[in-house]
Amino acid sequence: MSNEPGGPTPEHDPFAAPRDPKAAPEPTQPLPPPPSGYEAVPSAAAPAAPQPPAGAPTPPPYGQAGYGQPPVGQPPVGQPPVGQPAYGQQGYDQPSAYGQQPGYGQPPAYGQQPGYGQGAAYGQPQPGYPQQPGYGAPARSTDGLAVASLATSAGGLLLTAGLLSPVGLGLGIASLRRIRRTGQDGRGLAIAGIVIGAIGTLTIVLTVVVGIIFFARVATDQNVQSALEDLGETVDEGQAGPDASDELGYWQLRTDLPPGTCLSEYPNQYDMSDADVVPCSEPHSTEIVTQVQLDGPVVDDVDDPSYDAAVDVCFTAIDSRAPGLFDVGGFPDVYFPHPDDFDTPGGSTALCTYTADESNLTGSIVTGDVQVAGQGVGS
């Protein structure tokens, strides 16, 4: 039975769920199949927009949407553009396999640089850029041997005329070797120390060579040898004799001064020509005590064995005649003839004298009544 023309009335299913009155009416025709993704994409040329009927509201200008309406030519809100899959679906040409590059807007994987190449690990310098001290890398220190090399070479050249330059040169060479191994700073300091040390060392070598040549020249030069001999004789003459200011020459010792003769002052001449004879009762400083026989000619009264032996005999003779006299001061001395007169009569006889520290002697050593500044001395 049917209340409307066109077909019978469908039978009511008592077991079916009650129908929502707000739901859309059931279609009377079968629905088209869902899109497979292989349909043709419409061309870029959009069809002409249909003209609104007369009396309809005027649409907004192109590109502007009214309140709650999408722009002209754009799909409604919540629907993808034409030819693109909906949200959550994958298109035909989009890769989704594991290991492929992420799509636009997705962050790269941890440790990867966006774009070309692999990022460096944390704390490592970027390739192609020099590592700067500061963040992550300590500053390099200066090698101590380099500083010591420069200080030793420069100081040795200025203060010691290059005597320490070889030490600075060695320190500089050792510093360069250590810097090459450790990578420390100070290469410039080490090179400067080597250069200055080499200059100082070369100066020392040249000085030694010049000195050797000079002394070799002096040793073979007859004029230099003669000058040195004359200089040595002049020095020896100035040191010999009682009076060092007199030039040595020939002298003849006085023979008119017997033992027991008192002199006011100590004679300065070899021949005793300046002797001032005074009575022994008056204050005096020197007395001729005895005569001494020489063992040989006395050439020099400095380190001459004949002279030393004669002085020892003179000391014994004075001490035996006036015991304790040397305890209050004074000294013995011997005046000898010229060595050229040694083989002549009286040429080996010398005069033994005693000289006090001051002219405070009275009396005679020979007679045994000598006094020293009021002190009783002698027998």
Q: What is the mean pLDDT of residues 132-136?
A: 51
- 140 pLDDT band, cuts 50/70/90, is confident
Q: What is the mean pLDDT of residues 313-328?
A: 92
Residue 192 pLDDT greater than 90, yes or no: yes
Q: Mean pLDDT, the chain, as a whole number? A: 74
pLDDT in tens, 261-290: 999 999 999 899 999 999 999 999 999 999
CA distance 281 to 112: 129
Q: In this structure, is the dihedral angle defined by the CA atoms of residues 288, 289, 295 and 301, taken in order, positive or negative?
A: negative
**DSSP per-residue codes, 100-150:** SPP-TTPPPPTTBPSSSSBPPPTTSPPTTSPPPSSSSSPPPPBPHHHHHHH
In this predicted structure, what is the pLDDT of residue 375? 63
**Structural domain boundaries in the chain:** 144-216, 262-376
Residue 367 pLDDT greater than 70, yes or no: yes
Are 248 and 235 in contact by the 8 Å Cβ rule? The answer is no
In this predicted structure, what is the pLDDT of residue 227? 74
CA angle 194, 200, 203 (to 5 degrees): 140
In this predicted structure, what is the pLDDT of residue 261? 95
Q: What is the mean pLDDT of residues 171-191?
A: 90
Backbone φ/ψ region at 211: left (φ over 0), alpha (ψ -120 to 50), beta: alpha
- Under DSSP, the state recorded for 276 is -
Please give the distance of CA 91 from its chain centroid, rounded to a whole number: 76
Both tokens of residue 170? Answer: 């060695």
Residue 88 pLDDT greater than 80, yes or no: no
The owner of tokens 């636009």 is 104
Residue 91 pLDDT greater than 70, yes or no: no
- Residues ≥6 apart with Cβ < 8 Å to 168: 148, 149, 150, 151, 152, 153, 154, 156, 193, 194, 196, 197, 200
Amino acid symbol at 334: V
Are 370 and 289 in contact by the 8 Å Cβ rule? The answer is no
Residue 238 pLDDT greater than 90, yes or no: no
Q: What is the mean pLDDT of residues 53-63?
A: 58
In this predicted structure, what is the pLDDT of residue 304? 87
The owner of tokens 């001064």 is 257
In this prediction the pTM is 0.37
In this predicted structure, what is the pLDDT of residue 39? 61
Are 34 and 43 in contact by the 8 Å Cβ rule? The answer is no
In this predicted structure, what is the pLDDT of residue 258? 94
In this predicted structure, what is the pLDDT of residue 302? 72
Both tokens of residue 222? Answer: 């007859």
In this predicted structure, what is the pLDDT of residue 240? 45
Can you name the residues that pair with 277 across neighbouring β-strands?
A: 263
pLDDT in tens, 249-258: 789 999 899 9
In this predicted structure, what is the pLDDT of residue 299? 82
Residue 294 pLDDT greater than 90, yes or no: yes
> Coil, strand or helix: which one is 367?
coil
- Residues ≥6 apart with Cβ < 8 Å to 364: 260, 262, 280, 287, 370
Q: What is the mean pLDDT of residues 294-311?
A: 87
pLDDT-above-90 percentage for the chain: 32
Per the model's pLDDT, the better-predicted residue between 138 and 124 turns out to be 138
Both tokens of residue 264? Answer: 């006011």
In this predicted structure, what is the pLDDT of residue 241? 44
121-135, 186-200, 332-346: least confidently modelled range: 121-135
pLDDT-above-70 percentage for the chain: 57
Are 306 and 294 in contact by the 8 Å Cβ rule? The answer is yes
- Name the phi and psi angles at 191, rounded to 5: -65, -40
- 243 pLDDT band, cuts 50/70/90, is very low
Residue 3 pLDDT greater than 60, yes or no: no
- Name the phi and psi angles at 287, rounded to 5: -145, 140
- 303 pLDDT band, cuts 50/70/90, is confident
Are 360 and 283 in contact by the 8 Å Cβ rule? The answer is yes
Are 167 and 148 in contact by the 8 Å Cβ rule? The answer is no
> Coil, strand or helix: which one is 74?
coil
Are 313 and 352 in contact by the 8 Å Cβ rule? The answer is yes
